[in-house]
Structure 1
Amino acid sequence: MKSLRHCLYLTILVLVASCNKPAEPIEITPEVFHVSVDKVMDIQIHDIFSPPVASRVFVYPNIAAYEILAQKTNEMSSLAGKVNELTSIPMAEESKNINLELAAIIAHMELSKSLIFSEEKMEVLQDSLYADWQEKNEPEFNTAKTYAFEVVKHIKQWMDADNYNQTRTMPKFTVDTDDPSRWQPTPPSYMDGIEPHWNKIRTFVLDSAAQFKPITHPTFSLEKGSKFYQELMEVYDVSKEITAKGNDSEEIEIAQFWDCNPFVSVTRGHFMFATKKISPGAHWIGIVKIASRKSNADVAQTVNAYTKTSIAIADAFISCWDEKYRSNLIRPETLINQHIDPDWLPILQTPPFPEYTSGHSVVSGAASTALTAIFGDNFQFDDDTEVPFGLPIRSFDSFNLAAEEAAVSRLYGGIHYRAAIDVGLTQGRNVGNLIVERIKMKFE
């Protein structure tokens, strides 16, 4: 009996000691932000977001996290007044001693959840992290969460005024079948042109969607001596040359590595299904993670890199889509099948929107320019972004060289003319340079 009382006494002491366990400060590392961004990327793949819409899903949560952290260090300055129509977020009260890094990651996850379809997938990550933080220091967690929700409300109000909801009700793109130069839906799905009204989305740093309107593509002509016909034949000839080398050629590897088509239709007999991948913007967001880890970036530097790059990507899509549906140029696949070789297929599946300019080129030009400003030129990195999709690592000596390879991959893939690639890369770098000029950090 005495032994039993002794055991009960020890048990009570252990329980009391555990209840009186001192709260631990909650430390947020850059890896927590990488995990949150990776989760958003995984959900985007599952939910099949188009490339322009995916860019919107990335950028707003990053800005929310950035604005919270901008209060903590003199090296970061608010984006209010630098990003279009963004006003100052509610300031954290000094007396509450809010953990701003914790508030930033909570805001990132909460705002991300509001932009995706499969919210429950984000909640799994949230629930796991929240439980850990509550156990370590419930008062600190609750204070940070309350503040994060105030900021999320503010950013949501700004976000909801970007015309996205209005574009959901606008009419589908009308195909002009009378003009042989105009875009037509391509096999195998013959999908409608996606996001024809994306140029109506409020820009972030650009003065307007047309600020860097590119030069006009070569005049449409099927005369053999014309510049346009030469570009058309280049697509056909390069494709034939590449395929003659076999599936293990360097050019095919490059084309597949940078494919980044979120919805590839596959036909097997009477069945059609889709394979899912990351979008072009998501690939560059993956490169942000690689560069941040390699440079041992702290939380503020990591969030800055994600934010500046995602703004560059978002504005690049608005700029590019403005031109795509203005020029409304027909794809090489359509013309080659109609006039050169009815059995020809591009190495990559042609995406469902007009040709000029190349989205990969514009986005890669913008993202690489932002990343170069942050991490420097001649930044060597090993890009393992496509490993989950069965593709090998590719190594680059700079972000600009990676962008140039991403751009030319569209020629190798048989889905773009030369002008769309070269002019698109310039267009993207113009977008990126403006963002670098307007948004500067003291540690860059």
Structure 2
Amino acid sequence: MKSNIYILFLVVVFSFVGCKDTEKVPDPVELEISNVVADKWAEMTLRHLKAQQLKTPTYVSRSLGYIGLTMYESVVNGSIVYQSVAPQLNGLGTLPKPEKDKAYDWETSLNAGQAYIIKQMWQHAMATDNKRLDSLENAIYAERNLVVTDTATIGRSKRYGLSVAKAIYEWSKTDGGHLGYLTNFDPKYVFPRTTMNWTPPMNGQSSVLMPLHPHWGKNRTFTSTNSQLSIPEMIPYSDDKNSAFYKEFKEVYDIQLSLTQTQKEIANWWGDDPSETYAPPGHSYSLALQILRVKKPNLFTAAESFAKVGMSVADAFINCWKCKYTYHSIRPAAYIRKNIKGSFEQFWPEPPFPAFASGHATQASSAAEALISVYGDNVAFDDMTHVGRPKDIFRNVEYKKRSFTSISQTAIECGISRLYGGIHTSQDNEVGLAEGKKIGGNINALSWKK
């Protein structure tokens, strides 16, 4: 059966490849530096994202790229194992360095950097949202002042974290996506309007009948290697019932006829509607936080994980959007209504952009690859991201925790959730998973360790 072949493909895609970094053993002092401040800021980042208006998966991914990178770069010079990746990134160059032979409190540096970069990424946030950021920043400063009694060290650390964040923010302004949440739709964008191409759906996730961020694929990636990846090939369009293209959509139709309750729960869990959640890349950042709480790494490894996940999902959306707006590929509902059954309705509402390849699968795969490089694949944990959300009465689905025994399972399940939702074909998901693995791999390939 094709579904069995599909699952086998997914397992092969996520066969674990060991980290190539030469392992260096941190000194005891480095190992003892707690990840608590990183944990608090990651949690606040997600809370802040969820509250924002006009957010899209594209812009959320970008913001997490810079937020995660800032976390890492604001502390990395306190490690004897890790090193700055800034000179290896696409046009960033060298960041400010700490003063030689001076003491620094790296939790304070991280605190200053996160407070600044989050506000810059979301400059039109509500005053109440920024008050929460200020409250956390001030609370952490108060805690650090109790631990580090030298006020000069605290002041120096704060200035350093802020200088790193400001340098990264200035670089971010030139990537093509600056304040992109203010320009989600381009009414002047001309896209092909044929029966074989995607068109904005009625009654979809968005009430705006225009394509979302059609130019996002032109943005600068964090690594030049990701900008150099070729656009994946797509099965040629065909209405022929014997064609490979038709069979892709027939599979979607058949699955929708007999969705199980478990499949519905998976579709809902990974739906991550930006109007109600912190969007798909935010879900990946949430996974990074939850795995951190299981593995309990030190501050520097925690910062590495958020930087890798953030930059991976950011580059994933750039590359995926380049692909989407190359093919302008039709989604299942329109094709099925034309060729299989005119009254077809999919389980999950259609998002406002073309199908191929799947953004969910691409970003989830890139994030999984990033996290595997830090923690290994065999990590058992519960994904609690949506626990506590009200029951979806319309679809009769409750939001129950999802349990996993490996990180790669999250990407596999995220990808197939779109097939269960009726908005992607297996091809969309398979290619997305394969491309995401490459993208996350290119982030991992940076020289993170000395």
Aligned counterparts of 2:139 and 2:267: Cα–Cα separation in 1: 43
Partner of 2:177: 164
Q: Given the alignment, which residue of 41, 44, 48 partners 2:49? A: 44
Aligned counterparts of 1:31 and 1:78: Cα–Cα separation in 2: 21
Partner of 2:17: none
Q: Which amino acid aligns with 1:118?
A: A
Q: Is the contact between residue 55 and residue 310 of structure 1 (CA under 8 Å) also seen in structure 2?
A: yes
Q: Is the contact between residue 217 and residue 318 of structure 2 (CA under 8 Å) also seen in structure 1?
A: yes
SS of structure 2 residue aligned to 1:382 = strand
Q: Is the contact between residue 210 and residue 319 of structure 1 (CA under 8 Å) also seen in structure 2?
A: no
Partner of 1:118: 125
Post-superposition shift, 1:166?
9.3
Aligned ranges 1:165-314 → 2 under 5 Å: 165=178, 171-172=186-187, 173-177=189-193, 179-188=194-203, 189=207, 191-207=209-225, 209=227, 211-215=229-233, 217-242=234-259, 245=260, 249-263=261-275, 276-314=276-314
Aligned counterparts of 1:306 and 1:277: Cα–Cα separation in 2: 19
Post-superposition shift, 1:142?
3.1
Query: Comparing 325-334 with 433-442, which one deviates more in the overlay?
Result: 433-442
Post-superposition shift, 1:124?
2.5
Q: Which amino acid aligns with 2:271?
A: D
Q: Given the alignment, which residue of 403, 415, 419 partners 2:423? A: 415
Q: Which amino acid aligns with 2:171?
A: W
Q: Is the contact between residue 365 and residue 403 of structure 1 (CA under 8 Å) also seen in structure 2?
A: yes
Q: Which amino acid aligns with 2:135?
A: D
SS of structure 2 residue aligned to 1:214 = coil
Q: Is the contact between residue 212 and residue 319 of structure 1 (CA under 8 Å) also seen in structure 2?
A: no
Which runs of 5 or more structure 1 residues have no equivalent in the other structure? Answer: 1-26, 264-275
Aligned counterparts of 1:350 and 1:203: Cα–Cα separation in 2: 27
Q: Is the contact between residue 74 and residue 160 of structure 2 (CA under 8 Å) also seen in structure 1?
A: no
Aligned counterparts of 1:165 and 1:58: Cα–Cα separation in 2: 13
Aligned ranges 1:319-334 → 2 under 5 Å: 319-334=319-334
Q: Which amino acid aligns with 1:39?
A: M
Q: Is the contact between residue 324 and residue 353 of structure 2 (CA under 8 Å) also seen in structure 1?
A: yes
Q: Is the contact between residue 411 and residue 418 of structure 1 (CA under 8 Å) also seen in structure 2?
A: yes
Post-superposition shift, 1:95?
5.2
Q: Taking every aligned residue pair, what percent have the same amino acid on both sides?
A: 28
Post-superposition shift, 1:140?
4.2
Q: Which amino acid aligns with 2:246?
A: Y
User: Which aligned segments of 4 or more residues in structure 1 are displaced greater than 4 angstroms?
Assistant: 137-140, 166-171
- Any idea what the Cα deviations from partners look like across 1:125-152, whole Å, max 9, x if unmatched? 3235425634635554433222222222
SS of structure 2 residue aligned to 1:385 = coil
Partner of 2:166: 153
Aligned counterparts of 1:204 and 1:86: Cα–Cα separation in 2: 9
Aligned counterparts of 1:63 and 1:33: Cα–Cα separation in 2: 12
Aligned counterparts of 1:29 and 1:141: Cα–Cα separation in 2: 17
Aligned counterparts of 1:375 and 1:212: Cα–Cα separation in 2: 29
Post-superposition shift, 1:207?
3.0
Aligned counterparts of 2:293 and 2:179: Cα–Cα separation in 1: 39
Aligned counterparts of 1:201 and 1:132: Cα–Cα separation in 2: 35
Q: Is the contact between residue 61 and residue 109 of structure 1 (CA under 8 Å) also seen in structure 2?
A: no
Aligned counterparts of 1:112 and 1:320: Cα–Cα separation in 2: 24
SS of structure 2 residue aligned to 1:395 = strand
Aligned counterparts of 1:304 and 1:68: Cα–Cα separation in 2: 11
Higher relative contact order (CA 8 A, sep 6+): 2
Q: Given the alignment, which residue of 417, 422, 441 partners 1:433? A: 441
SS of structure 1 residue aligned to 2:88 = coil
- Any idea what the Cα deviations from partners look like across 1:221-276, whole Å, max 9, x if unmatched? 1121111111111111100111xx4xxx111111111111213xxxxxxxxxxxx1
2:68 is aligned with 1:62: yes
Partner of 1:424: 432
Structure 1 vs Structure 2 CA RMSD: 2.2
Q: Given the alignment, which residue of 92, 105, 109 partners 1:103? A: 109
Q: Is the contact between residue 40 and residue 122 of structure 1 (CA under 8 Å) also seen in structure 2?
A: no
Q: Which amino acid aligns with 2:222?
A: F
Post-superposition shift, 1:119?
5.5
Aligned counterparts of 2:442 and 2:86: Cα–Cα separation in 1: 16
Q: Is the contact between residue 366 and residue 429 of structure 1 (CA under 8 Å) also seen in structure 2?
A: yes
Q: Is the contact between residue 74 and residue 110 of structure 2 (CA under 8 Å) also seen in structure 1?
A: yes
Residues 375 and 332 of structure 1: CA distance in aligned 2, closer, same or farther (over 3 Å) = same
Q: Is the contact between residue 236 and residue 336 of structure 1 (CA under 8 Å) also seen in structure 2?
A: yes
Query: Comparing 401-410 with 128-137, which one deviates more in the overlay?
Result: 128-137
Aligned counterparts of 1:113 and 1:402: Cα–Cα separation in 2: 30
Q: Is the contact between residue 59 and residue 177 of structure 2 (CA under 8 Å) also seen in structure 1?
A: no
SS of structure 1 residue aligned to 2:87 = coil
Partner of 2:360: 360
Query: Comparing 347-356 with 123-132, which one deviates more in the overlay?
Result: 123-132
Post-superposition shift, 1:157?
1.6
Q: Is the contact between residue 337 and residue 343 of structure 1 (CA under 8 Å) also seen in structure 2?
A: yes
Q: Which amino acid aligns with 2:90?
A: N
Aligned counterparts of 1:164 and 1:132: Cα–Cα separation in 2: 31
Partner of 1:74: 80
Post-superposition shift, 1:299?
1.0
Q: Is the contact between residue 28 and residue 102 of structure 1 (CA under 8 Å) also seen in structure 2?
A: no
SS of structure 2 residue aligned to 1:330 = coil
Which runs of 5 or more structure 2 residues have no equivalent in the other structure? Answer: 1-31, 391-398
Residues 205 and 140 of structure 1: CA distance in aligned 2, closer, same or farther (over 3 Å) = same
Post-superposition shift, 1:191?
3.1
- What's the TM-score once normalised by structure 1's chain length? 0.84
Computing the radius of gyration from Cα coordinates, the structure with the larger value is 1
Residues 394 and 290 of structure 1: CA distance in aligned 2, closer, same or farther (over 3 Å) = same
Aligned counterparts of 2:69 and 2:178: Cα–Cα separation in 1: 20
Post-superposition shift, 1:389?
2.5
